Amino acid sequence: MASSNKENLSYEAARDELAKVVAALEAGGAGLEESLQLWERGEQLAAICQEWLDGARAKLEAAKSEAENQ
């Protein structure tokens, strides 16, 4: 779970918001300040998603190891 981040977003919520941030950045038209804020938010959301993925990977590895040891 996203324990070191201040937000408790699900993976899906973080991923969906990240997709919106990327779309806004790709669309252009934002000023420098807004673009920087979007970029920073995107970095936060990407970190949340990565924590979820890392946690899932660790659980899968633990289950695989347990299954092999039985």
In a domain, 4, yes or no: no
Q: Which amino acid is at 58?
A: A
Report the predicted TM-score, pTM, of the whole model to 2 decimal places: 0.81
In a domain, 62, yes or no: yes
pLDDT in tens, 24-52: 999 999 999 999 999 999 999 999 999 99
In a domain, 32, yes or no: yes
Contact 47, 5 (CB under 8 A): yes
Sign of the dihedral through C-alpha 63, 58, 14, 18: negative
pLDDT in tens, 1-15: 444 556 899 999 999
Q: What was the pLDDT predicted at 21? A: 97
11 φ, ψ (degrees, to nearest 5):
-60, -45
Residue entry with tokens 């000023």 = 31
Contact 46, 18 (CB under 8 A): yes
In a domain, 6, yes or no: no
